[in-house]
Amino acid sequence: MGKKYELPKLPYDYNALEPYISEQIMRLHHDKHHAAYVNGANAALEKLEKARNGEIQVDIKAILRDYSFNFGGHSLHSLFWTNMAPAGKGGGKVGGKIADRINKDFGSFDKFKAQFSDTAKTVEGSGWALLLYDKETDQLVLTQIEKHNSMHLAGLPTLLTLDVFEHAYYLQYLNDRAKYIENWWNVVNWDDVEQRFSKAMH
């Protein structure tokens, strides 16, 4: 088997996002949930390799579904961690080219923030809210993902993502997803979003 997926380290301490996201949540979210997606993706690839070599018989559809789910979880979480910055360094109003584009495509930052928040609030069950850049139409677009089997629309670059699986907030916010989303804006790493947008433009 080739190179395996690995769990990335958090780019900050477990308690760096407090009081908005607790240390307890971050430890469980990163060390248990994200790690499980990494292990699941590697296990699926190993089964596919063994099947190719005639070592085992597999339900290919089920294995590919597992791989899609776990790889999607790994990829989105890896982006999610860098999309956030320690309390006091993240959040606030966005600047740079991404700010200009948000104003152009959404009318204002406040309109964007409201629509992105609504995108996250209305995800059915577990899933994600994403801000993407569509090069074909040269505009920012929003999308929802239920679970994380399908990572994003047709390979469009993801600039900003918010995890609204219950494991991302329930220990601290219980069933108040809206409050979690409201507080999450305080730790958004706009420098990371700006870098992703600049890369997507080239």
pLDDT tens per residue across span 53-96: 888 888 999 999 999 999 999 999 999 999 999 989 999 889 99
Mean pLDDT by 10 residues, the chain (202 residues): 90 98 98 98 94 86 92 95 95 93 97 98 94 94 84 77 97 97 98 96 84
Number of domains comprising the chain: 2
Domain membership of residue 69 (yes or no) is yes
| Residue 1 confidence (pLDDT) | 59
112 and 78 part of one domain: no
- The pTM of the whole model exceeds 0.85: yes
CATH number at residue 116: 3.55.40.20
77 and 123 part of one domain: no
Residue 72: give the domain boundaries.
23-82
| Residue 154 confidence (pLDDT) | 59
β-bridge partners, 141: 132
Burial class (CB in 10 A: 0-12, 13-18, 19+), 77: buried
Domain boundary among 40, 57, 82: 82
- Residue 185: which residues within 8 A CB-CB, separation 6 or more? 91, 113, 117
Domain membership of residue 18 (yes or no) is no
